[in-house]
Amino acid sequence: MLHQPMEALEATALGAGALDSRMSREQFLQTLRANLDALPQVRGVNNHMGSRLTRDPEAMVWLMAELRRRGGLYFVDSRTIADTVAQRVARVEGVATIGRDVFIDHVRTTAAIEKQLGVAVKLAHQRGSAVVIGHPYPETLTVLEAALPRLERYGIRLARVSQLVEAKKQRKNPPWHVSLFPSLTAAKN
């Protein structure tokens, strides 16, 4: 999965390969294509940051049209802002999409991460699945290493985001419940 840097509301330096609203369509697509070409096995994309760009319908159309053109890559909306249009545009453009349900480590303390993991488990039981975004922070890894053996007792099995997207496309209820994303499964997606 390509974890694509995108323009945020706050002035954050994103570095090379980032997409922003000041780019022309040609610059935008050239950057996106170079990033996708760098990952020949890529199956999907999600936004790293992107609170400004995911609100921009025109930019999202450019993005989704390229994902569709590439043979149907999926899009995972990190939902870094409430008024994102990314998933709505993806659906209109015929791109498989799914959105983040829980940020597990927005607050980097063991107690906060454990609490968010509990929220994810509850959502997974209620809805049948939950997409959880986490990072390889030491605190996150500590909590997950302790919790992963216990999750199965709660009826939770981990899944790749691509599996959840595929299950959603087929309108099936997946037999798994929580997907830890992007950091913990990105190399496998």
Condensed to tens digits (0 to 9), the pLDDT of residues 79-124 reads 989 999 999 999 999 999 999 999 999 999 999 999 999 999 999 9
* Across 10-30, average pLDDT: 91
Contact between residue 67 and residue 25 where contact means Cβ atoms under 8 Å apart: no
Segment of 2-16, 131-145, 154-168 carrying the highest mean pLDDT: 131-145
Please check whether residues 71 and 32 belong to one and the same domain.
yes
Find the domain containing 114 and state its range. Answer: 102-182
CA–CA gap between residue 159 and residue 121 (Å, rounded):
13
| Residue 188: inside a domain | no
Asked if residue 189 is part of any domain, the answer here is no
> Rounded to whole angstroms, how far apart are CA atoms 61 and 128?
30
92 and 108 share a domain?
Answer: no
Q: How many CB atoms lie within 10 A of CB 136?
A: 11
Residue 41 covered by a domain: yes
Number of domains composing the chain: 2
Length of the chain equals 189
Domain shared by 124 and 174, yes or no:
yes
Q: Residue 171: what pLDDT?
A: 64
| Mean pLDDT, all residues of the chain | 87
84, 82, 66: which is closest to 74 by C-alpha?
66
Residue 128 shares a structural domain with residue 173: yes
Percent of the residues in the chain that have a pLDDT greater than 90, as a whole number? 67
* Predicted pLDDT of residue 176: 43
Residue 64 has pLDDT above 90, yes or no: yes
Does residue 187 lie within any of the structural domains?
Answer: no
Q: Identify whether residues 79 and 155 lie together within a single domain.
A: no
Of 119-133, 155-169, 171-185, where does mean pLDDT reach its minimum? 171-185
Query: Are residues 106 and 91 part of one domain?
Result: no
Q: How far is CA 38 from CA 30, 55, 63, 125, in A?
A: 12, 26, 16, 37
70 and 145 co-located in one domain:
no
Tell which residue, 133, 134, 185, 132, has the closest CA to residue 160.
185
Q: Is position 47 within any domain?
A: yes
Side chain identity at residue 31, one-letter code: T
Instruction: State the sign of the Cα–Cα–Cα–Cα dihedral 131, 136, 141, 143.
Output: negative
In a domain, 70, yes or no: yes
Mean pLDDT, residues 144-157: 88
The mean pLDDT value for 146-159 works out to: 88
Both 13 and 92 in a single domain?
yes
Domain co-membership, 24 together with 110: no
51 and 125 together in one domain: no
Average pLDDT (14-28) is: 93
